[in-house]
Amino acid sequence: MAPSLAYALIATDLDGSLLRGDDTVSDRSLAALARVARAGARHLVVTGRPVPRVRPLLTDLGCTGLAVCGQGAQLYDAAAGRLLWSERLDRELAETALGKIEAEVGQVYAAVDQDGVDGLTLIEPGYLMPHPTLPAVRVDRRADLWGAPISKVLLRHAELSDDELAAVARSAVGSLATVTMSGPGTVELQPSGVTKATGLALAAERLGIGAERAVAFGDMPNDIPMFEWAGWGVAMADAHPELKAVADEITLSNEDDGIAVVLERLFPGAGQ
């Protein structure tokens, strides 16, 4: 059980956490988030998805405040429809990092998320989108990925598992970039030092809320920094073992409304 504390900030990952497999949010989860709002607490989406892939979901959730996107590289104001802060991944560094990784494991397939509220996701030949429902533009060659500023690079390998590719990438890349794994088929390079925790901390500072009053929900290793920052970290039932190892609590799966179960317990006096 979470300690008795007045939580003021609820940070939720999307894929595998708040979202069900069909990219929808259940009625029970929506009701639980409404309960949070009635209690005076703030809900922040903290996701690896870039802003353009998040905006429709924020509308569905009724979010009009801040959202942390792009693995912490983007702080978005939903009400104003603009980025308050963004950190770009240097494109020359990204190319160098890819070369170092390929020197270790052979060919990888890459995609990029362009920076900005209208940035595109570009994919090179051979790259398969882990989320087929998310829009992407296929380019003819890798060099075409670097035509505009980017927030991150996504990687896939024909044979290595996500864990194996992430481990090799961390060793090969070093301090050139931060390597994260945020879901099946989703190993990513983002600006060095940028994580979900850095983006969440920036948002919390703007809201005047301390880390000890934050609850974070997630399911993958990219959520580990967020759990380390927040006062209470809740992993989904089918979360990656690395995240479960640092979680304060494990709830039900995203399909079983695991986030709603915890929020109903933490905010008992704010029911309908």
Average pLDDT, whole number, for the chain? 94
List, for residues 28-73, the tens digit of each pLDDT value.
999 999 999 999 999 999 999 999 999 989 988 888 899 999 999 9
First to last CA, the chain: 23
Task: Pick the closest to residue 71 from 19, 122, 113 (CA basis).
Answer: 113
Sign of the Cα pseudo-torsion (194, 195, 200, 205, in order): negative
Q: Is residue 269's pLDDT more than 90? A: no
Confidence of residue 190 (pLDDT cuts 50, 70, 90): very high
189 pairs with which residues across the strands?
153, 179
DSSP secondary structure, 198-242, as one string: HHHHHHHHHHT--GGGEEEEE-SGGGHHHHHHSSEEEE-TT--HH
pLDDT value at residue 270: 63
Confidence of residue 1 (pLDDT cuts 50, 70, 90): very low
List, for residues 191-245, the tens digit of each pLDDT value.
999 999 999 999 999 999 999 999 999 999 999 999 999 999 999 999 999 999 9
Rounded Cα–Cα distance for residues 19 and 270 (Å): 23
Task: Pick the closest to residue 94 from 145, 136, 140, 165 (CA basis).
Answer: 145
pLDDT value at residue 271: 62
Neighbours of 148 (CB within 10 A): 13
- pTM tops 0.85: yes
Q: Between 129 and 145, whose confidence is greater?
A: 145
